[in-house]
Structure 1
């Protein structure tokens, strides 16, 4: 029986040009390290800003469910403000932690959400371009998969709303642990490359999940992933 992490699924995943586009964007921070001399703090700030992008995309996906169901459309009136507040506070607390981890003092203006975003955008040279690349690839996937291929018709409003939380916890526990390791290592370049590798591996898994969902016609459950396609 084929398993989720079998070579055939990897090959099928990367027959799709969009999977290569995602991989290319995930590898872009290597340029930031080489060209701009980024360390661990700008990398973690970039991945925090990526969470904000994911939040925006989640709202767009939630809105998409409203075109498939009047019930979902009614639910949007409550759930979008709720998600914006709840996920926003989740990211805000995470951002405060990252800012304190950077070892730099925080001004009173830097304690508010807008101040945190400004700090993150200014933490590394060229940061805005890398965030723009992340936003662009997410928009491409949204239009290609969610809209043009009709995923919104089978999407559940509640499922879309809670989807980013597992992602943010899984990815950023690994990223933060890697950041502490990077900061504490005597080889800073090796440490930041480890952070990028962690993110690239996560991106490969996400692309495989995307392929799995396309082949099975629905979201991959834990049982389905354990059994294989």
Structure 2
């Protein structure tokens, strides 16, 4: 097995893959998991959700294997202080997000990384969530967006904020109101202001994107500039979407 080159510093490699696989393919992917993960297989939740979560974890291991030349079952995954998955003793950072049948994994080196992917669900209580989770400035700007654009704008902003706290590593210990991101859904995203102690908005790069009409995602890393490169999931036996 030949490993692919590690990303250059400042380059984020993005893997977008599908989670709805035929049963025979799921069986192959489950073999990518270590025995302790096979034993639980997300029991106790809705079957479709459990299967998709399993495929996402197995897919991540296959992607990491392509860089590290380590069998997927042996990838040294650990969990950080606030629950963020990490690689133990390896100079490679990653993050993964999935929503419904879609997943994305972001891989980089020398930076903290976070990604959030959301499908645009019209039933989402966006007004309630915006009041509770957006800063005063963000909410004021969002409430002036045209009504027909508010759903897209909400998830544009929401994914940026989620990607940021995942990259930061503090997780839900960071109040979502303590930093401002770009509201305009036609923009590329960005950290406008951070009120988090010891943090500076100038050190972060956040990109907010629309994969197609029904999906929004954002990537955050602690570099001033970053270059995002799409990778073909079929190279590691995963499906495109």
The TM-score, its normalising length taken from structure 1, stands at: 0.25
The structure whose residues are more often strand, as a share, is 2
The structure whose residues are more often helix, as a share, is 1
Q: Larger relative CO (CA 8 A, sep 6+): 1 or 2?
A: 1
The TM-score, its normalising length taken from structure 2, stands at: 0.24
